[in-house]
Amino acid sequence: MEKIVRPESMERITTPELAKNFIEEQIAEIKKQVGNKKVLLALSGGVDSSVVAALLIKAISKQLVCVHVNHGLLRKGEPEQVVKVFRDEMDANLIYVDATDRFLDKLAGVADPETKRKIIGKEFIEVFNDEANKLEGIDFLAQGTIYPDILESDGVKAHHNVGGLPEGMKFKLVEPLKLLYKDEVRVVGEALGLPHDMVYRQPFPGPGLGVRCLGAITRDRLEALREADAILREEFDINGLAEKVWQYFIAVPDFKSVGVKDGKRYEGWAAIIRAVNTTDAMSATIEEIPYELIHKITYRITHEVEGINRVMVDVTPKPVGTIEFE
């Protein structure tokens, strides 16, 4: 297998000018590699896949086929933003698949976090395969592999392939970001004209809200989680914390407690706030959120989100806790 090493002479991309040079080089490379053939990309809406999509659209336009699978576990507004940015604004050749029911039906009654992750991963590949099978004349598969992915896999690039593709579908890989670090990918993304909030989106697990809706996922609790998480993100944006905190999110456990609403007792779920900072994701410290802001977030979530009657803050660093709450 081919080993990929970033040349020592390669300048770190920190400015729009350097990003523009990189984009022009990659457009020439992509055109040379792909010719007049078609390229398939699983477009999640995350930073890396979005930047690859924008770069390929600039290079080969409609020869790129993007498949966006909405598994029903994305954050509020994310599938809509992918369609708006890529189909409406960039005129991409985008296939949008709403597979919410397919995923949630498979996850019904499954409480174990590892089992949930496996079901979501396997189902994603199957949905992607179903779409790939409908297409003809695809020779290349584009991926958002970046340099840290390669370093983590001991320099071998095949690790990042979409697994389980159908027999007989022999794709050649297009990986234009494979020598870039995450901060460089963001500079390139902005130079390509992607929205700032998409380029600076925080890390989000592949199984999405599936690992933050603790225990067996129910549709009503998943919706409550999505709404509460949107309020947390909105308040972090308003208060200038969005780009100071590495990762922040809500988790909702699968138990209820008694609360009071309109003078009556009722049962509701708890929303757990988690906000952490890290440099390498191997360890993480807790971001101290001002109490005034916690009070505001609590008020909004308990008054605006159906089914949630308590808000808690997780102050556990890693170790001993993991970054995700599952």
Please give, one letter per residue, the 3-state secondary structure of 118-184.
Answer: HHHHHHHHHHHHHHHHHCCCEEEEECCCCHHHHHHCCCEHHHHCCCCCCCCCCCEEECCCCCCCHHH
pLDDT in tens, the chain (326 residues): 567 899 999 999 999 999 999 999 999 999 999 999 999 999 999 999 999 999 999 999 999 999 999 999 999 999 999 999 999 999 999 999 999 999 999 999 999 999 999 999 999 999 999 999 999 989 999 999 999 888 876 544 343 444 445 555 578 999 999 999 999 999 999 999 999 999 998 888 889 999 999 999 999 999 999 999 999 999 999 999 998 999 999 999 999 999 998 889 999 999 999 999 988 778 999 999 999 999 999 999 999 999 999 999 999 999 999 999 98
Q: What is the distance between the alpha carbons of residues 254 and 251, in angstroms, rounded to a whole number?
A: 10
Number of CB atoms found within 10 A of residue 239's CB = 15
Query: What pTM was estimated for this model as a whole?
Result: 0.89
Report pLDDT for 195.
95
Report pLDDT for 154.
55
Q: Which fold has domain 212-313?
A: GMP Synthetase; Chain A, domain 3 (3.30.300)
SS3 state at 51: helix
Assess contact for 176 and 45: CB atoms under 8 A: no
Report pLDDT for 169.
58
Give the homologous superfamily in CATH for domain 16-199. Answer: HUPs (3.40.50.620)
Number of CB atoms found within 10 A of residue 100's CB = 16
Half-sphere CA count of 182, side-chain side, radius 13 A? 13
Closest CA to 300 of 221, 254, 232: 232
For the chain, the structural domain boundaries read 16-199, 212-313
Angle between helices 47-60 and 16-34 (to 10 degrees): 60
Report pLDDT for 167.
53
Sign for the CA dihedral angle at 113, 117, 122, 128 comes to positive
Number of CB atoms found within 10 A of residue 299's CB = 12
Tokens found for residue 210: 């599936």
Q: Which helix (H) or strand (E) holds 54?
A: helix 47-60
Report pLDDT for 89.
96
Report pLDDT for 209.
97
Report pLDDT for 198.
92
Assess contact for 132 and 169: CB atoms under 8 A: yes
Report pLDDT for 163.
45
Report pLDDT for 165.
53
Report pLDDT for 149.
84
